[in-house]
Chain A
C-alpha cells in the first residue's frame, strides 16, 4: 500500500467506523471509537509506522488520541511524532493514551491486503478493514455466511488467526428509491408500460395466481384486458419485465351510471407476475416519513388486514412520485368525474394529502401499529394542486376484480 493509500485508509477507516457504526467487541477499552474525520490534519500512518517502531494504529477514544504500541518503550518517539496532532485535539503529548498492541501496523497492512485480495472471491464478504481501533484485520461477513471460510483463508495466506476478527454484518447496498428497480417487488414502486409510468398498488394472489394490482388507467386501454406488459422500473433495464395484465373489467353504461357517461366502482386492474419474479405479499415500500418528499426506501410496511375508511380517518399512500404522503379522509362514496374523459368513478374516497403524476395505482392504507398496516384501496386521481388524492376503496376493487389475498 502506498503512503497515500495508507493515509487515505485512516480517513476511510474513520468514515467507515462512523457510517457503519462498527462497535468493536474486541476493543480493550470496549468504548466506541470516534471518527477521526474531524481532524484538520490527520497523521500519515505510513510515516507514523516508520517513525515509531511498534506503532499499531491510531484512533480517537471518546476524543482522546489513542495509539497501539507493541513496544511501550517507544512512547518517546510516539509523543514526538503525534505531538502536534494531540495538541490540535486539545491534549498534551503526554496525554496520548497508549494501549498494548499485538501487531505492528505494517504487518496488519500486509495481512489486510492479502486477505482483501482473496476474500471477496468467497461469497458473503461485505468488507475487509485494517481496524485501527482494535489492532486487527476486521472482516465483515454477511449474516448467515461462513466465518470459518475466512479463517481458513487467513491461515492459507499465512495470517495469524488471532490477527483476524470476523463479524456478522448487514450487506451494504446503494440506497434504492421508489423509482429504481427493486426486488422483491413491493407496493409503491414505479412500473412502466408503453410510454407511461405508474405505481404498484399491492401484491395479491387471485385464484392461485401471483399478481399485483394497479390502476385500470395504468393499462394500455382503460377497461378491458389487452395483455399490457409491465416493467419495473423501466423497460430499458435488464430483467425488468414483471408481469402481464389479466383483469380489467370494462366500463358500463346505464343503471346508476350518469347519462352519457361510462362507469366503474374502481379504477383498478390486476396483472399476473411473470414466472421467477420475486415479490413480497403484503409488502409496501416505506420511506423515511410521511409528507417529507423522500423517495428513498428505508424499510417495508406489512399489510396485516383489509379495511375501509370513514371521514376523518388518517390514511397513507406510497407512490413513485410523491413518496409517502398522509392525510385525512375528507369525503367518502363520491361519484367522481375524471377530467378529460367520459368516465365517472362511482363511490370514491377523497383524501387531503399530497399526490403527483405517476402516483396512479398506489396503495392506500392505514397504520395499525409499528409497520403493520390495513390495506384500504388503490389511488388513481388527484386535484391540480397536488393536495388531494382520490382512491378506489378495496371492497370495490375486490367487487370488480374478484377476491384477493393480500397478506
Chain B
C-alpha cells in the first residue's frame, strides 16, 4: 500500500512563516474526495483512493497524524451500518506530521478492500485524523453485485 496523507489546514507555520493552528476544513481551498469503482462483484477487491487537493492559491500546512499518514476508510450499508473500517481495532502512533500542500498540489492515500459482504448498495467515506477535528469526505456510492 502506498500512502501520502493529508489533513487539517491552517495558515502556515513550520514550513512557511504564517500562523500555526489546526483550523477547520475550508472547502474553498481544500478538496477531499474518495475515489472508487461505482460497482464490483461480490468478493472482488475494491481499490479505494482518498484524494486531498489544495484548490486555493495559498500553500497549506496540514496537521496530520502518524509517521506514515493515518487514514480511515468506512464502508457502510445504505442504512448506515458500518461493515468495515480500515482503522478498526488498530493502535496508531499519536504523532503530528506537518504536511505542506502547494497551490494545486494533490496527494492520495490508497488501500484495497475485499468486498466480502452481501450484494447491495453501500457507501464509502474517507477520514483523515488531524490534531483537531478529522477531515471527512462526502460518502460515495458503491454497488456490490452478486
Contacts and interface: CB of A to CB of B under 8 A. Distances in A.
Interface of A: 179, 192, 195-198, 215, 217-218, 222, 234-236, 267, 319, 321, 336-341, 355-360, 379-384, 386, 389-390
Q: Tell me if A's interface is mostly helix, strand, loop or mixed.
A: loop
A384 B85 contact: yes
Nearest to A341: B68
Nearest to B8: A357
Contact of A217 (B90, B93, B98, B130): B93
27 contacts: A195-B14, A195-B100, A196-B95, A197-B95, A234-B14, A336-B91, A337-B91, A338-B93, A339-B66, A340-B67, A340-B70, A340-B92, A356-B94, A357-B63, A357-B65, A358-B95, A360-B93, A379-B94, A380-B94, A382-B94, A383-B89, A383-B90, A383-B92, A384-B85, A384-B90, A384-B129, A386-B129
B94 A196 contact: no
Candidate in A267, A337, A356, A357 with the most chain B CB atoms within 10 angstroms: A357
B91 A390 contact: yes
Given A236-B14, A357-B96, A389-B94, A222 B131 contact: no
Nearest to B17: A236
B62 to A, nearest CB: 11
B138 interface: no
B112 interface: no
A339 B3 CA distance: 13
B2 to A, nearest CB: 12
B94 A339 contact: no
Nearest to A382: B94
A379 B97 CA distance: 17
B87 A357 contact: no
Contacts of A360: 93-95
Interface of B: 13-15, 17, 20, 63-68, 70, 72, 85, 87-100, 129-131
Contacts of A198: 95-96
A398 B34 CA distance: 44
Given A357-B63, A357-B65, A217 B14 contact: no
Contacts of A195: 14-15, 97-100
Contacts of A384: 70, 72, 85, 87-88, 90, 92, 129
B92 A197 contact: no
A141 B99 CA distance: 46
A217 B90 CA distance: 17
Nearest to A199: B94
B90 to A, nearest CB: 4
A359 B88 CA distance: 20
B75 to A, nearest CB: 15
Given A340-B68, A357-B66, A357-B129, A383 B91 contact: yes
B68 A355 contact: no
A196 B131 contact: no
B127 to A, nearest CB: 8
Contact of A236 (B13, B70, B97, B131): B13
Contacts of A356: 65, 94, 129, 131
